[in-house]
Amino acid sequence: MTIADATGNPTRGAAATASTGIGRKPAKPVDGLGVFLTLLTILGALFWVFPMYWALITSFKPEEDVVQPGIRLWPEHFTFQNYSFVLLNTKIGLWYMNSLVTSGAVTLLVLITSAMAAYAISQLDFPGRRILWWMILASFMVPIPALLVNHFILMNQFGLINTWAGVILPQLIAPVTVMIYKQFFDSVPKDFREAAIIDGATEWQLLWRLYLPINKGITTALAIITFIGAWNNFLWPFLVATSEPMMNITVGITQVTDAFGVKYARWLATATLAALPVAALYLIFQRRVTQAIMLTAGIKG
């Protein structure tokens, strides 16, 4: 068969390609295991996403529809009254601000203190460095809930109950951030450090103008995961902030009650509002969050 071009001349190359099949990608054989794993992942994702979906659609249902028997995957009547109630009748604005301030401060302070501690342990030679490092590693093994009573007594003695400082301070213990920073500072080539020393850099300048900028990606990843962690933290803010105006958004959800019983739709509307900033952050910095989770799990991506 001969294929002719617009001028009527036969295009030999095309004919050859058509007849011999040269230039076509060979069809890939179906990878059975790959298909199975993909289906398994989709199933897992659906299983995981369903409660979120359920919470979201419930928040748009009228309260009486929520308690109807049977499973209704799509609301029969759409309403925004749960959201308007939460926004107009609760202190959600204050709770948001408290969450924003405390989570932002925790993130900033954790990054600053961790970077400085990691730099000192990684790059400086001082007596007790090794012991300090082992202490940081050991502190990683102590679960934070085990320290709740101590923290509460301490904050109470400092007079910091129902204050932002009281919410923030105990959340600054972040050995894993120190460990990750140290790991990355260790891997910065020695030549950079020496070149900067010859250029006249002090240790302080080495940290802020060399080590941290070189590891900017790690800082971003750690910042996001620390912020999300602080935003989602419930137990400590719940204990230390007992007055409603000082509550974080996660604790504030518990205040959306009614004298006439349980209000599921309102609760879920508040929970949706509480989760919104974190969900937005996650969507924007998806790759960085994944990287951060891999880092905290000890996988250097």
C-beta closer to other proteins: residue 23 or 213:
213
Report how far residue 191's alpha carbon sits from residue 184's, in angstroms, rounded to the nearest whole number. Answer: 15
CA distance 226 to 301: 18
Q: Does 200 bind other proteins (CB under 8 A)?
A: yes
Q: Does 208 bind other proteins (CB under 8 A)?
A: no
Per-residue tokens: 269: 């509307």
Among 48, 189, 259, 260, binds other proteins (CB under 8 A): 189
Q: Segment near other proteins (CB under 8 A), from 160-168, 203-211, 260-268, 274-282?
A: 203-211
**Binding residue for other proteins, selected from 131, 216, 260, 261, defined by CB under 8 A:** 216
Smaller CB separation from other proteins, 77 or 190: 190
Instruction: Choose the binding region for other proteins from 6-14, 83-91, 209-217, 266-274 (rule: CB under 8 A).
Output: 209-217
CA distance linking residue 236 with residue 246, whole number of Å: 13
Interface with other proteins (CB under 8 A), residue from 53, 134, 192, 234: 192
The span from the CA of 178 to the CA of 170, in Å, is: 16
Closest distance of CB 215 from other proteins, Å: 9
Residue whose CB is less far from other proteins, 85 or 181: 181
CA distance 56 to 267: 11
| # chain residues binding other proteins, by CB under 8 A | 17
Among 183, 205, 220, 296, which residue sits at the site for other proteins (rule: CB under 8 A)? 205
Closest CA to 83 of 283, 274, 231: 274
Question: Is the CB of residue 221 less than 8 Å from the CB of residue 158?
Answer: no
What is the C-alpha to C-alpha distance for residues 116 and 296, in angstroms, rounded to an integer?
18
Q: Which amino acid, residue 300?
A: K
Which residues contact other proteins (rule: CB under 8 A)? 189, 191-192, 194-201, 205, 209-210, 213-214, 216
